[in-house]
Amino acid sequence: MQQINDLLDAKLLENHRNQEKRDYLGASIIGGDCLRQIQLQYMQKEQEFSAQTLRTFAIGHCLEDLIADWMILAGFDLRTRDENGEQFGFSTAEGKLKGHVDGIIFGGPDFCKYPALWECKTLNNKSWNDTAKRGVLVTKSLYFAQVQLYMTYLNLDENPCLFTALNKDTSELYHELIAFDAEAAQRYSDRAVQIIKASENNEMMPCISSDSSFYKCKMCSYRQECLRQRGFCE
């Protein structure tokens, strides 16, 4: 019945609008392609999400919890919460830059070194195959930046991060060890400071393209706000 879908969609969107917005720049978005997009998210501008996208996000979180259970079952001393029951994370730049990690592995099979950051993602078949073939650095700059900042600010830089990705279409798992890259970590940290300072000075960061019809611009959840700031209209 379409009426049920309409009701569910309406409530999902209402719930999303009523959620408290982040008042900090998240490490998970620093590696994005567009500096303007990152800045708009930091400035808490309204994003355009469909109910279907919100459902996809929620399913991903549930699957990540399931994968964590599998890792523990396999003998990894994986912890997703600290001794106070809070998610592991960091806060720097007077609380303006923060990040929360999927977990930390404190021990386990001898083919890995510990302690190690654990980052988990769920991907569709095309994205998963590309990542499994070419690696995170090449295919997922967003995730690469994310783990580099986590390793930096949580002092987990001595051992590689264990990155795990689930293929949502086939249930296949991909694992990759991502070594700490001090130069990259500094670059992304500097980028975060640049975005924070620009926002405080009411200066807008450059958009990825001056062409509003660029395919990444057309898919951006901040498209309308960006177009408004640039004097375009649709």
Per the CB < 8 A criterion, the answer to whether 222 and 40 are in contact is yes
For residue 47, name the pLDDT band (cuts at 50, 70, 90).
low
For residue 210, name the pLDDT band (cuts at 50, 70, 90).
confident
Q: For the chain, list the domains and their CATH numbers.
A: 51-203 (3.90.320.10)
SS3 of residue 180 by DSSP: coil
For residue range 126-145, what is the model confidence (pLDDT) as tens digits?
Answer: 999 999 999 999 999 999 99
More confident: 187 or 6: 187
Residue 178 has pLDDT above 90, yes or no: yes
Residue 15 has pLDDT above 60, yes or no: yes
Q: What is the mean pLDDT of residues 93-106?
A: 95
CA distance 70 to 91: 29
CA 88 to each of CA 117, 119, 154, 195: distance values in angstroms, whole numbers, following the listed order: 10, 12, 9, 24
pLDDT at 44: 74
Continuous segment of H or E residues that includes residue 145? helix 141-153
